[in-house]
Structure formats: structure tokens, C-alpha cells
Amino acid sequence: MTNRELLREIYKESKAINRNIQRVANVGLLGIFERVAKEAEKNDDEDGKFIVKVGASLIVVTEIFLLLRDIMDHQKFKMEGE
């Protein structure tokens, strides 16, 4: 294995780790939003409900971008291997 191949493999793994860390952070944020949603529902707080909806929507968008990036990277590395 040449240095170039080794560096490409390290780069690929680093990107995958960063995306996984982002996903774990998103799961943590969903937990926080769940608690806020319960509290807002209990207190009939419209602002809290709005914040939960916006936050959850942003997490969904982030997950879509992460998925698209995974697909693009997979295709890129597959094409480099051929």
C-alpha cells in the first residue's frame, strides 16, 4: 500500500467518523427537543412548540445532507477503485 492510498483511506475514514459524530449529536438534540416538546405541551406554550418544530425540521435537513454526502462519497471512492 502506497502512501497515497494510505492517506486516501485515512481521509475516507475521517470523513465517515465526522458524519457519525454529527448523527450522534442529532440524536442528542432530538432528546432535548423531546423534553422541550413535553414541557411546551404541558404548559400550552406556543413558542416552545414552534422551536421544537423548527429544530426537528433542521435535524431532518441535516440528516438528508449527511445521507447525500455518504452516497456521493461512496460513488466517488467506487469510481476511483475502478
pTM: 0.77
Cα separations in angstroms, 46 against 30, 49, 57, 60: 19, 5, 17, 21
pLDDT, tens digit, 9 for 90 and up, residues 25-49: 999 999 999 999 999 999 999 999 9
3-state secondary structure the chain: CCHHHHHHHHHHHHHHHHHHHHHHHHHHHHHHHHHHHHHHHHHCCHHHHHHHHHHHHHHHHHHHHHHHHHHHHHHHHHHHHC
Q: What is the mean pLDDT of the chain?
A: 90
Domain ranges of the chain: 3-81
